[in-house]
Amino acid sequence: MCGITGWIAYDNDLTTQRPTLEAMTETMTCRGPDAAGIWLDRHAAFGHRRLAVIDIDGGKQPMSVAHDGRTLIVTTYSGEVYNYRELRAELEKLGHAFRTRSDTEVVLHAYLEWGEGFVERLNGMYAFALWDPRTEELLLIRDRMGIKPLYYHPTPDGVLFGSEPKAILAHPSVRPTVDAEGLAELITFTKTPGHAVYKGMHEVRPGHIVKVGRGGVKATRYWALEAREHTDDLDTTVAHVRELLDDIVARQLIADVPLCTLLSGGLDSSAITALAAKALAAQGRGPVRSFAVDFTGYTENFKADDLRGTPDGPYAHALAEHVRSDHNDIVLDTAALMDPGHRAAVLAARDLPNGFGDGDTSLYLLFKAVREQSTVALSGESADEVFGGYRWFHDPETVNADTFPWIAAGVSGRFTGGNATREALLDGGLLGKLDLPGYEGRRYREALAEVPYLDSDTGLQRRMREISYLHLTRFVQILLDRKDRASMAVGLEVRVPFCDHRLVDYVFNTPWSMKTFDGREKSLLRAATRDVLPDLVADRVKSPYPSTQDPRYGEALRTELKGVVADRNAPVQPLLNSVAAAEATADGATSDIRPGAELILGMNAWLRTTGTTLEL
């Protein structure tokens, strides 16, 4: 896993632009702490920061392939191709010779052999650029599910690109500007594919190739979810899900560095940890190492709410004992969650204040602690989107709402009422200009227009295909981006087995009645993995990533917000609803303001540190 950046300029000589490329590349140091590389040609310049995972000595980048002294292809590459060994063997039979053991070199030779269509052969998570000096064309390629990020910014004579916006913003010709649509995208939970919030910037859509040439920039799709008839019976379906999971986990255990799993004690992470333990034992590499996040006093003082019915700790420990993992609890306290340095690091990692508050800070701190002992971690992320795990999948009112189901379910307000919404403390005039409900509605209708159907899709089956599609193309992007930024901020590679496109495609086309055959959420996953799980874990009701329940966290937010409200020079002041902010920070105020306060505080820090201009 790495950080990449680059610049294509057909009207300039980029061999003189090393300082600019070094500045852009330096912003990606957190993603690649092990090595740096720059490659310059007349019209193309690549930067790379490396997190060495496979072929530590041989996988340095940018990497090229030459023949008779002529460069044929160059890449700056981020990610992992899990089937690179099979592809390498096939390419060797076709006459290709390799000088490294890296998957990066396999990608280069695959392009030389099969052209742009080679990407359809890849199984993995990746975001990379290919420059072909023979045609003077650039390809920006992103994996099917969008696990790894990749942004680009067209220029009058080419393009700038990077793993994160900060790499592009480091170029002297780009200024951080956000218009009304960008701000609406930032505040809402829509995650529009291709939208990068910053004006003039775009994100390469999952499953897409962006081609840049002298004629301009063109995006094409190489993969998308398709509707297919599911002909397997229930037993065959469960068996095939397990067969896929066994293969996926085994592939994703390949690494030349220490590896672990992220274990919450929920069905998803427990299944991955148990399957990893089984695979490692078969290879003589066990035990699996696992990590869980917890908060001081959380289990002892836990209070169930509408979102979380049980604390994670006892279940994580039960699974760890069951598979005999080398388990570690990372216990955080409120002081760590409120530490200005930690929150600044999260904001710097995300480039935007559109996160999950303490959930982002705790995730960052968890990954920071994990990185001290491991370089690669397997996660249970995305199982809920694939198998239908969220509670709103099973609530008829939410399912039938005329908007994104997670918005109908109240994710932006943490499932509470009153002032506990992200926009509660924003100025009324600003909200009127942004028209957040209208923006969400337009994006929702755009997403629905993409959904593939079968003629047999009627009634509930048709609607649940829509719900699944919305989650697999929109909501999962919010979570994958969050996990990538928090992990790469500390140089930790997180792999997500449930995003393997073979599994996603198969389960997407499995009828909803099979996905809920036992009357519960994630029926297929539970049935496919029950044999490797203790009953306590297999039967646990879904509980999302934990959030601190320490009242001191809310009090600390209120105190900090009060300081911002009183500071007339605070950059967020023009966006504030002064009356609501005064009421929320008044002495004796007790209302829950966490989502709104976290957004305001994040926006204030973002505007102050980045110099972003709002064009509203």
3-state SS string for 85-116:
HHHHHHHHHCCCCCCCCCHHHHHHHHHHHHHH
- Measured CA to CA, the distance from residue 24 to residue 4 in angstroms comes to 9
- Any bridge partners for residue 405, and if so which? none
> Two tokens at 307?
């979102």
- Among candidate residues 2, 30, 260, 499, the one labeled active-site is 2
In the structure encoding, which two tokens stand for residue 111, read together?
Answer: 């392009």
User: Among this protein's residues, is 30 annotated catalytic?
Assistant: no
Q: How many residues does the chain have?
A: 616
Amino acid at 181: E
Pairing type for strands 177-179 and 63-67 reads unpaired
Distance between CA atoms of residues 498 and 504, nearest Å? 7
Contact assessment for residue 364 and residue 342, using Cβ atoms and an 8 Å cutoff: yes
Q: Which residues contact 105 (CB under 8 A, 6 or more apart)?
A: 59, 63, 65, 98, 99
Q: How far apart are CA 204 and CA 149, in angstroms?
A: 8
What are the CA-CA distances from residue 56 to residues 1, 26, 74, 96, 374 (Å)?
Answer: 12, 21, 19, 22, 15
CA 450/CA 469 separation, integer angstroms: 9
d(CA 329, CA 52): 26
Positions marked catalytic: 2
